[in-house]
Amino acid sequence: MSGEWVLVTGGTGFIAQHCILALLERGYRVRTTVRSLAREKDVRAQLRVGGNVADERLSFVEADLSNDAGWHEAMSGCAYVMHGASPTPSGDQVTEDDWVRPAVEGNLRVLRAARDAGVKRVVLTSAFGAIGVGHAPDYRRPFDETDWSDLTGDVAPYQKSKTLAERAAWDFIAREGGELELSAVNPVAVLGPVLGADFSHSTRIIKSLLDGQPGCVNINSCFVDVRDVADLHVLAMTHPAAHGERFLATAGASLLMIEVAKVLRDRLGAAAARVPTTVWPDEEVRKHPAMKSVAPLLGIDMNATSAKAIRLLGWHPRSSEEAIIASAESFLRLGLIDGQA
């Protein structure tokens, strides 16, 4: 309902900022959390890049997933919560616990605060990493919402944190959630318009290709536009059929990185002059320090389906090609490509 308050956690995040934009466009009032109010100016600047002019309907609260301070204030008067704040690949994590503990404890802290504040529904931003990794190569495809990542397999700490954090959220709702409702959105690699230099690790795929990395890694991925992910969050927040459900967000079948590179070259012309045209040999990728998290995905089918969101919620995402080009054009527009004049 227009005018209701929605809390969006982690307002510095790529998905969170597009959720804020989608909510403001629909007439909601939005409160968002940041770990330091010093970031408010930066977040507002990025939202203006995204077209937001409704500053008076947006407020900020300082809150950190690692402690209780600020969460009661953040939840006060909110009908809904979109919870996406979580540790992401930053280079600061040293041990697996540095990933898992804040993700799990943060989810539980937010859910308890939401329950105690009388929030109607929380939409959890989970990930494909909680669904489609760690499985044997002959595991059935495409992945859907009935799948969970196999943590006995080769699973990176970030993906493990997303899996355990989502499981902890569903367990909390079952045991002690009271009247609080929960829905989850599990996006694949999220592309679309970046809003500034503080962009996501998924969009870095496109930047690396435009920057001229040595070759296209032999992996495939599904893609989805961040604006469509935000729209799915709104549907998961308001649609009666979304209660108690998780929704994979993908725009279509998976693409090899060499196919992504071809989309860039075909659509961008001279701006894609440095995009690689060959496949980076697997043995070289496995030896490259920066490719450690990617190596387990070499040659693995990562196909997934959004049939459930389309059928139950009437969600209609843009094509993968549109998402790819939207990312690329925003990097070029904002002057974020290495060596760009």
Active-site positions read 162
DSSP string for 148-186: ---TTSS--HHHHHHHHHHHHHHHHHHHH-TT-EEEEEE
Q: How many Cβ atoms from other residues are within 10 Å of residue 335's Cβ?
A: 9
CA 335 – CA 341 distance, rounded (Å): 8
Cβ atoms of 309 and 187 within 8 Å: the answer is no
Helices and strands (H, E) in the chain, number of each type: 11, 13
Which residues are paired to 255 by β-bridges? 221
Alpha helix (H) residue ranges in 216-281: 226-238, 257-268
- 300-329 burial, b if ≥16 CB within 10 A, otherwise e? bbbbbbbebbeebbebebbebbbbbbbbbb
User: Is there a cis peptide before residue 142, judged by omega within 30 degrees of 0?
Assistant: yes
